[in-house]
Amino acid sequence: MTALPAARPIGVFDSGIGGLSVLQALRRELPHEDFIYLADSGNAPYGDEKGDAFVQQRTLAIARWLCAQHGIKALVVACNTATAAAVELLRSTLPELPAIGVEPALKPAAACSQTHHVGVLATRGTVGSARFQRLLAAHSAHTRFAVQACDGLARAIEQSTEEPLPAPESAAKIGALCAQYAGALGSFGLKTGDIDTLVLGCTHYVFAKDMLRELVGPEVQILDTGAAVARQTRRILAQAGTLAPEQSADGQPAETGQVRLYTTGQLAALQAAAERWLDLPARCCTALPRT
């Protein structure tokens, strides 16, 4: 028997473990939904070294796999680079699949900045995309954006869950990259000319937020898109009538949704990340052949 639309899972994917930050927000916003997450870690990172054609091919392949194997009712592209390079192609190729992308929070940053000077950290793939340039142009009338491509930062965060680097050495590497790229943006603070808002334009960077906070100070706002993406996902499912019910047939609260995670990379790395950031047991994770 075919599952009712509301009972089908939501697909979520990223080039690696960065999209787990979006999955965190999705689970908070939609606790009764089931999720299937795919970390394409065997091909990560997308943003530093992969071209648009490769990212488009991977996005379509992953979307088709999630539809065929798990019957997803919507797909959250929890990767800024994949959104920039492929979400429009995805929507035109699979028009029956609602696709929710992520993009750097330039609009809310421009709205809330008091100094009208905003810093943006993102991957080179995102910064160089036509989609990002359009977004930047749309919100630059009254706001000055300092944009920094952060080569190697997403990879370092991805590798922090893998075995070769011990935790202190891994943290030091991430911290050094954060210091380098935040420093390149300029001065942070609330004085005229200072950057008072920092946009995290890669879902991986959320997992370095504490390090970045130490660098920019307590007064600076740090924005990511997880909560906004989760709210948009709710809106789209509600419009389609496919939200999971919040109550069971007898009026009791519905059960918490299930989560399954897959990776094309190292299983142990995904298991470590899932336990560390989502409090999920290792049995929720499965390795897939790298293609």
By annotation, the residues acting in catalysis are: 79, 202
Q: Which amino acid is at 185?
A: L
Q: Strand, coil or helix: what is 118? A: strand
Q: How far apart are CA 62 and CA 43, in angstroms?
A: 12
Q: How far apart are CA 199 and CA 201, in angstroms?
A: 6
CB 33 within 8 A of CB 256: no
Give the alpha-carbon dihedral of 15, 18, 23, 25, to 10 degrees: -140
CB 106 within 8 A of CB 223: no
CB 217 within 8 A of CB 137: no
Peptide bond into 245 cis (omega under 30): no
281: DSSP letter: -
Work out whether strand 221-223 and strand 35-39 pair parallel, antiparallel, or are unpaired.
Answer: unpaired
